Structure 1
Amino acid sequence: MNVWGGSLSPDLYRGFQRVLIVQNRIETALEVGEQGRIKAFEQWLDSHECPRAGFAEPIASPNIRAIAQMAARTQTTLIEYSLVYDYDLFNQNPWIDKGFDRLYGYATELYIWVVPPQGKVQFRRIYLEKIYQEYGVSLAGLVRNLRKAIARQCDPSRMNDDGKTGLDIPDLLAILYQILIEPIAPWLPDDPSRRVSVIPQDFLFLVPFAALADRQGRPLLEKHTLLLAPAIETLGLPQAPGRLPQPTRSRCALVVGSVKMPRVALEFGEPPLQLPPLCDSESEALAIADFLNVEAFAGDRATKNALLQQWPDAAIVHLATPVFVEDTPGLSETIALSPDKRHNGLCRIWELFAPTPGSTRSRDNPELLVLSGCDPKPGRLQGHHFFWLCWSAIAAGIPSLLLSSWRPPQGSSTPLLLDFYREWQATGDRAIALRRASLAARERNADLAHWAAFVLVESANGGDRAK
């Protein structure tokens, strides 16, 4: 089954990968994995009828030589994950509801490639059946239970204890580290300032890699500067300069928050419901706008029309508003804005990246897009939506995407994001800035929910960092 495309047929690229791994052709298997990711994104564009004009032309997947050269040129260590599923067992037991995309519970193998700046491609093959034997839960189940535990930290009244395995957050972080990081740890850089780009797959997009802890309890963020990417190829796309842009008459900053939430009918024939607001949205938008020396768009001004009009003039776009990234009817892959006479307040994410139909004005995309209101339902695992979101932004020419993989507890987002902007201004490096801002947030509150929510997606060759 192709989880990305939603097809009921097996994913041919992963099947081919498995054959190549059995033949010990690990480098060719990595190339095939990249081909599968690019094909999945192209299929998503076609299925969503996205205007192709807003996106780059179809790109050829990189060969192993190009991948190695990219890692060496940018001094970035690449980690790519690929999951293999037991389709036969899934088809024999399709009625089993494991609380997430059912196929996720049938992951039997995990492939991990590491491409360091120097040296050959390294590979590990992890058999996942032993996880269920030892903990009574699949790898996807461990991720789901960690997400539910994080949700309880964010809001103790939000979740009950259904689905708990008896493992607390430190245990879950340690187990996931042992599965995802420990087998490849010897190949990761010793210098914390060196970049490590993680390329997950499926539900692994929902893993807070920065917080995974080794046997001494040290989170990965202490040891590495982390980025997220949907594919290796996206890391080599052209980037804008790394320094924090100063607002000018031609390129300003756009900050949106405290929207008047839309009303949406989630079921046919049902009365529309008022969507819940984003906590701290107003205070975050005002604080960020003040730092960037602009006026925030809030309330009646925070409409879809206003956002699309201001977008081409913005070097930075910061959206402190709910972002729906799941398969919720009427809401999937949308941003909540204030309704007006023309629009209901919901903006499809890809509409931001593509030129307005009939418009003769060129669409300049920002250097940085911040989506601080992504908050997937903790009991469901639909990480492929983050794959679409990251791919869409990069393919549309946005150099950097900073997004939350959950909404931190009240009072945590604003100081972390302000620290990020200050560090970016000081260092000219967004990845270093996020690492320092997250570590500072951890000093203020060690609970995972407060400091590990934000991830950065950008090209490995962006920024004015030291080589």
Structure 2
Amino acid sequence: MRVASLLLVWCLSVVTVAAQAPSSLATRLDELLERIEARAFDDAEALAAALREDAAQAGDDDTVALTMRLLGDMRIDQERLAEARTQLVAAQEFARSRGLRRRDLEATLMLSRVGAIDGNAERAEVDAIAALDGLIALDLPREATLWAFDQAIASVRGMAEHEAILVRARPYFRADDRFATACSLWHADGDHYFNKAAYVQAHESLTTALACYEGLPRGGGDAGRVLVSLGRVQRAHGQLLAALDYYRRAARLQEANGDIPAMLQSLNAQAVTYDRLERHATAERLYRRALGIARARSLERYEVFLLGNLGGSLLLAGNTAAALRELQSALEREKSPYLRATRLRQIADAWRELGQYDKALAAIDDAARELPTPGFDDRVSWLAAHAMITARLGNLDTAQHDLDEAVRMIEDARARTLPGDVARRGFGDLHQWLFAVSIDIAMRRSGMANALELAEQARARALLDLMQDDTAAGRAAPPKVAEMQALAREFDTTLVVYWVDRASTLAWVVSAERVRGYRLAVSERALRQLVGLAAGSGNVPAAINAALLGGADLHAWRALHRAIIAPLAADLPARAGARLTIIPHGPLLHLPFAALLDTRGRYLIERYALHYAPSIGVLAAAARRPASTAAARAMVIGDPAPLPRVPGLQLPPPLPHARIEARRVARRFTQGALLSVGGAATERSLREAVAGYGWLHVATHARVAEESTAQSYLLLARGQGGAADDGLLTEDEVRTLPLDGATVVLSACGTALGRVTGEGTVGFTRSFLAAGARAIVATTWEVPDQAGRQVMNGFYDAKARGAGMSDALRAAQLQQLRALRAGTVTMKAGDQKVALPATPLLWAGYIAVGAP
């Protein structure tokens, strides 16, 4: 606890302002406060006993009462609550017997804190408000008034009056204050805003609190508590590694300052984050370490808290029976209404996992009664838990009602996230699970249209913000079903929308005339395996060689068609060459649907023109962008050299075929083309020139990162412009390019790949769309040079005949497929020419994203 440090400046001000105690007593009181602040509790206790005796002999009743109350504060700091209560009652009685109204009210306020910690929240709330009102009526100095607010706020945390007291306190706040009570109030203000999902205000108040504590001589331990709160803000935006950094910094500060209770909270926060990262074994080790420290220090309240969180971790890890035992044990000993509500909710989840739905419902209802005024996270978690239980009991209407409220809360909170793409993207990813539950229940209620709208609401929202005016007024809401049908009519397409869940896959077919929804009997895991197999299990050259020796293995392509296309056949267009707009999800984001193979041996590309978008809203935003006025002029980049050296990675080989490809593409743009090859193909030249061209073609190496800690980049030539011209064009740097309405062709390996999130694929296609591109052609795997050059030739031939993006790519892929089937695509093997197999790996890897 931080009680002692919160009181120091206020107590010093009492001595200075009142000037009632003899100087020797005042000096000793200062020394007592310093010992408490330094957590030298044994010394402080001896000093307090002597000071109290001497003050009594001197007839200084105010110093006696203050010393008694400070000893009570110290006992709270030591987690010795029974002794704290005894000491504070004695201080209260002494103050009353001497007519010391102020000291009486202070002791009452501190007793309310003990009562709140001990589980008597309602009585504590009443007493704290009465004591606060009494102290304010005494017209105390500002610092003393702030102390009273701080103690009252701590006493009513989680109760109905918490916000009202904060509102009353805020007029006294000053950002340049540098004393402990002021720091604590800024911290409480930030935590309050966080619990309301007002993240910008939370971050501002917490940053002020951190600066305040860091400006104090002994503020390190309490600064650590603020770091934990700042880490929570990062965690709420899905920035789990950043949150861990905050928590580790906090634990180091707290250990150095001897603040063991606070250090336990930091270890707990780390464990919670590792659970979010699904590293449950690491989380369990941290919980058990913290539990050992709490038990060794006899910190019972923290022991019970950590025991409950360990149970929650075991529940997330799937060890439900063990989790239930720990949670029930913690609940029996827990006194905090907030934590009791949390444990009851977790117990409800455990009973649900065990199929005991009546017990689960009783527990979740008890949780609601324990915490009548929950914060944002608690309310959303309760609604989701209640919905999943009532759904299991067959009450789908109640479940959907709960989930609708939770989704509304998330949507409201989304408007209050921290600025920036990373924060908004992380916030969306963090709540994907809730949308998954809501979509599933909506489909089970035959709410096909509602489920489709929820699926659209859940995906690519941060990208849509980047593509629009970045203000609340400039952000369009996700489209409703009627708007989706209007888009299908406008773009002469049929939308095929997917949502992949753990146990099944949902699909919707949206045309101008009708909307149909399906639940497909294929799980996320099965799709991931099939998509991986179809794409050569991560080794395209080896898969092509295997196809040369034994024929193309088309099993996965057939299985994928059977799982995700065949069930929709009745609602797909009958017209040959009709357009399908694929809105993929989960593992399907890395799947080129062109190669899905039906029972008659026809690939999907032989029936339809295909293009893709991460969401229907993104499709509309991209397609409605005006095409560049310089659409007939191209900037073409090929075979950059010298390439940048990347630590830990072997320098990739030159790309002579890419240089040939670039020259051929440049010659096609008779109205003007800037050809950048070799040393001319730098980041600086790209940034300076690209705005003058409506077409960008890039043929180079790419590094695609599928982990959250790394960036994808296109390799360009090393330039002379420092870090901004280092030859590594990252996905973040791509977003800054002026590509208003441009078309982009990325003739590099795997440029349609990236980390799969609720945003879709976080990689190059997303960044180019955010930069203003209208349409993008990219690749889903490593395309061999010769095959890639032939597909590109066919694509540009079709474009020259006036075809749109999806039609041109279809024409190129069909041309390549026919040539492979005819055996006219060959390669040298020694002195012989060998016909390449008709495997999709040689023609299907290109996809068109954005405008059709």
**Which TM bucket (shorter chain)?**
0.7 to 0.9
> CA 1:381–1:253 in 2, change beyond 3 Å: closer, same or farther?
closer
> CA 1:429–1:327 in 2, change beyond 3 Å: closer, same or farther?
closer
- Which deviations, in whole Å up to 9, do the C-alpha atoms of 1:127-186 show, x marking residues without a partner? 226x9xxxxx72211111221258445775799xxxxxx996311111000001000011
In the alignment, the residues of structure 1 paired with residue 667 and residue 470 of structure 2 have an alpha-carbon distance, to the nearest angstrom, of 34
In the alignment, the residues of structure 2 paired with residue 139 and residue 416 of structure 1 have an alpha-carbon distance, to the nearest angstrom, of 27
One-letter identity of the residue aligned with 1:458 = G
> What pairs up with 1:76-115 in 2 under 5 angstroms?
76-85=493-502, 108-115=503-510
1:93 paired residue number = none
Counterpart check, 1:185 vs 2:608: no
Contact 2:777–2:848 (Cα < 8 Å) also in 1? yes
> What pairs up with 1:340-419 in 2 under 5 angstroms?
340-341=719-720, 342=722, 343-354=725-736, 363-375=738-750, 382-384=755-757, 386=761, 388-419=763-794
One-letter identity of the residue aligned with 2:481 = I
Choose from 490, 509, 515 the match for 1:121: 515
Contact 2:765–2:778 (Cα < 8 Å) also in 1? no
Choose from 595, 613, 616 the match for 1:229: 613
One-letter identity of the residue aligned with 2:457 = Q
Instruction: Report the 3-state secondary structure (helix = DSSP H, G, I; strand = E; otherwise coil) of the residue aligned with 1:327.
Output: coil
- Which deviations, in whole Å up to 9, do the C-alpha atoms of 1:208-227 show, x marking residues without a partner? 20010100110000100111
Contact 1:304–1:345 (Cα < 8 Å) also in 2? yes
In the alignment, the residues of structure 2 paired with residue 242 and residue 353 of structure 1 have an alpha-carbon distance, to the nearest angstrom, of 17
In the alignment, the residues of structure 2 paired with residue 375 and residue 59 of structure 1 have an alpha-carbon distance, to the nearest angstrom, of 31
1:58 paired residue number = 475
Deviation at 1:390, TM superposition (A): 3.4
In the alignment, the residues of structure 2 paired with residue 244 and residue 310 of structure 1 have an alpha-carbon distance, to the nearest angstrom, of 12
Choose from 640, 643, 646 the match for 1:259: 640
Deviation at 1:419, TM superposition (A): 1.7
Contact 2:750–2:778 (Cα < 8 Å) also in 1? no
1:67 paired residue number = 484
Deviation at 1:236, TM superposition (A): 1.8
Choose from 647, 665, 676 the match for 1:288: 665
In the alignment, the residues of structure 1 paired with residue 605 and residue 630 of structure 2 have an alpha-carbon distance, to the nearest angstrom, of 23
> CA 1:381–1:254 in 2, change beyond 3 Å: closer, same or farther?
closer
> CA 1:189–1:9 in 2, change beyond 3 Å: closer, same or farther?
closer
In the alignment, the residues of structure 1 paired with residue 739 and residue 451 of structure 2 have an alpha-carbon distance, to the nearest angstrom, of 37
Question: Structure 1 or 2: larger strand share?
Answer: 1
Choose from 532, 536, 549 the match for 1:144: 532
Choose from 573, 579, 582 the match for 1:195: 579
Contact 1:198–1:227 (Cα < 8 Å) also in 2? yes
Q: Which runs of 5+ in 1 are unaligned?
A: 86-107, 132-136, 160-165, 247-251, 267-271, 356-362, 461-467
> CA 1:76–1:426 in 2, change beyond 3 Å: closer, same or farther?
same
Instruction: Report the 3-state secondary structure (helix = DSSP H, G, I; strand = E; otherwise coil) of the residue aligned with 1:33.
Output: helix
- Which deviations, in whole Å up to 9, do the C-alpha atoms of 1:225-278 show, x marking residues without a partner? 1111110112222144599943xxxxx310001112211124xxxxx6424555
Instruction: Report the 3-state secondary structure (helix = DSSP H, G, I; strand = E; otherwise coil) of the residue aligned with 2:570.
Output: helix
In the alignment, the residues of structure 2 paired with residue 282 and residue 155 of structure 1 have an alpha-carbon distance, to the nearest angstrom, of 26
Counterpart check, 1:452 vs 2:847: no
> CA 1:365–1:455 in 2, change beyond 3 Å: closer, same or farther?
same
1:323 paired residue number = 702
Question: Structure 1 or 2: larger helix share?
Answer: 2
Instruction: Report the 3-state secondary structure (helix = DSSP H, G, I; strand = E; otherwise coil) of the residue aligned with 1:112.
Output: strand
In the alignment, the residues of structure 1 paired with residue 474 and residue 674 of structure 2 have an alpha-carbon distance, to the nearest angstrom, of 36
What TM-score results when the alignment is normalised by the length of structure 1? 0.76
Contact 1:314–1:365 (Cα < 8 Å) also in 2? no
1:92 paired residue number = none
Instruction: Report the 3-state secondary structure (helix = DSSP H, G, I; strand = E; otherwise coil) of the residue aligned with 2:575.
Output: coil
Contact 1:374–1:407 (Cα < 8 Å) also in 2? yes
> CA 1:28–1:178 in 2, change beyond 3 Å: closer, same or farther?
same
Deviation at 1:37, TM superposition (A): 0.8
Instruction: Report the 3-state secondary structure (helix = DSSP H, G, I; strand = E; otherwise coil) of the residue aligned with 1:197.
Output: strand
Instruction: Report the 3-state secondary structure (helix = DSSP H, G, I; strand = E; otherwise coil) of the residue aligned with 1:427.
Output: coil
One-letter identity of the residue aligned with 2:686 = L
Counterpart check, 1:301 vs 2:676: no
In the alignment, the residues of structure 2 paired with residue 278 and residue 331 of structure 1 have an alpha-carbon distance, to the nearest angstrom, of 25
Instruction: Report the 3-state secondary structure (helix = DSSP H, G, I; strand = E; otherwise coil) of the residue aligned with 1:32.
Output: helix
Choose from 597, 606, 609 the match for 1:213: 597
Q: Which runs of 5+ in 2 are unaligned?
A: 1-275, 279-424, 821-837
One-letter identity of the residue aligned with 2:781 = W
Instruction: Report the 3-state secondary structure (helix = DSSP H, G, I; strand = E; otherwise coil) of the residue aligned with 2:617.
Output: helix
One-letter identity of the residue aligned with 2:634 = A
One-letter identity of the residue aligned with 1:79 = V
Instruction: Report the 3-state secondary structure (helix = DSSP H, G, I; strand = E; otherwise coil) of the residue aligned with 1:354.
Output: coil
> CA 1:376–1:432 in 2, change beyond 3 Å: closer, same or farther?
closer
Deviation at 1:192, TM superposition (A): 2.4
Q: Which has the higher contact order (CA 8 A, sep 6+)?
A: 1
One-letter identity of the residue aligned with 1:114 = V
- Higher Rg: 2
Contact 2:751–2:778 (Cα < 8 Å) also in 1? no
In the alignment, the residues of structure 2 paired with residue 437 and residue 457 of structure 1 have an alpha-carbon distance, to the nearest angstrom, of 16
2:365 paired residue number = none
